[in-house]
Amino acid sequence: MVDEQLLTRDIEDKRVLEAMQSVPRRAFVPEGIRASAHMDNPLPIGYDQTISQPYIVALMTQLLVQKVPVGGRILEIGSGSGYQTAILVSMGFEVHCIEVVPELVEPSREVLSSIGLEPASMMVGDGHQGMPNKAPFDGILAAACARKLPKEWRKQLKEGGVIVAPVKRSSGQYLFRWTKKGRALKRENIIPVRFVPLIKS
């Protein structure tokens, strides 16, 4: 997976590559489709949710860690199966997760615990609202597509912090990275993507 899907593209951060190599993706994929765990595409995890393709997980992680120091506090929106969570925890970040689908939270928590990669906190809730009781964050990463960037995420981000998230545009979904500079957010366009929608609880 790492050799064929990441090294041949634009994933260059050694920390990201090591995390993608070490975290067992199979553990986060439903048993019936584990033979497809390392394929370069998203996979269903139930409840109309998916685990993102390996390349997208690696790309979003790389975009985040280029700006956030090791040990930084990360808010993960839409933790789903827990795979992205595991990648970030394995890299030494303080990760706080929020997931809107209650049925996904306990299974992902159990898997993360079984491999020793538990986040600092994990809760069921509306990702639009973020996690104000744990703010401010050095970085925010969202694995679900919002119609526009939620105001609460802006408020909960530290100065110099970054948001990596897909947002809906007239032409489809697009992945962006924002960096907080005073009251403004500097936006970088990354690539077109396709994520499940960010839904309200």
| Residue among 36, 52, 90, 113 flagged as catalytic | 52
**Active-site residue 52, yes or no?**
yes
CB 172 within 8 A of CB 152: no
Burial class (CB in 10 A: 0-12, 13-18, 19+), 80: buried
Q: How far is CA 100 from CA 129, 135, 201, in A?
A: 11, 19, 6
Pick from 160, 193, 156: nearest CA to 175: 193
**Residues whose CB is less than 8 angstroms from the CB of residue 177 and which lie 6 or more positions away in sequence, other chains included:** 63, 67, 162, 163, 164, 187, 188, 190
Number of residues that this document lists for the chain: 201
CB 201 within 8 A of CB 125: yes
Give the C-alpha separation, 187 to 184, whole Å.
9
Query: Coil, strand or helix: which one is 48?
Result: coil
**Residues whose CB is less than 8 angstroms from the CB of residue 184 and which lie 6 or more positions away in sequence, other chains included:** none
Please identify every residue annotated as catalytic: 52
